Structure 1
């Protein structure tokens, strides 16, 4: 396994709700650096600091991944691994 790689990627809904797989500490760092300043919160700061510590080798990639998942949940952008975007849309269409 490459240094900084997550054991399992984290899939987030970004932009206009497009899924994006984040597979490493560096990818998480880039995403968080590009996050709009107006939308940043405490969870963002914690995740960004974890990324910096992960890049420096101070914490392991799975700890960084956990902070990214928490950030994503708090911002309602985490896409569950078991649900694909097409399946999620299909479920919405059948509801009602």
Structure 2
């Protein structure tokens, strides 16, 4: 079921800060289903409903991904994509090296 795979995974913190990489609509659905009821919000409901719609084929995986990202940001559990940060970190390292050298 490749149509449920995200173009870019979403990495979020769960439990005691453990990073989890979510790559599919089903993984997002499972995560949201297991979310503690006491910690659920409107962002959770929107993301969970998007997962259901994605599973049913009513919306695409990237729309589901966007709602998952919004949910994770709202709860401050979204980790930045380390692959996209690597060039920026290298560039920053190069500029700081040239200043001291």
Q: TM-score range by the shorter chain?
A: 0.7 to 0.9
Q: Distance in 2 between matches of 1:51 and 1:68?
A: 9
Partner of 2:49: 49
Shift of 1:37: 0.1
Shift of 1:19: 0.4
Q: Which has the larger radius of gyration?
A: 2
Matched positions, count = 84
Question: Is residue 62 from structure 1 mapped to residue 48 from structure 2 by the alignment?
Answer: no
TM-score, scaled relative to structure 2: 0.80
Shift of 1:44: 0.1
Question: Is residue 13 from structure 1 mapped to residue 10 from structure 2 by the alignment?
Answer: no
Is the contact between residue 3 and residue 60 of structure 2 (CA under 8 Å) also seen in structure 1?
no
Which deviations, in whole Å up to 9, do the C-alpha atoms of 1:31-70 show, x marking residues without a partner? 0000000000000000000000000000000000000000
Partner of 2:74: 74
Structure 1, unpaired ranges of 5+: 85-96
More helix by share: 2
SS at match of 1:3: helix
Structure 2, unpaired ranges of 5+: 87-101
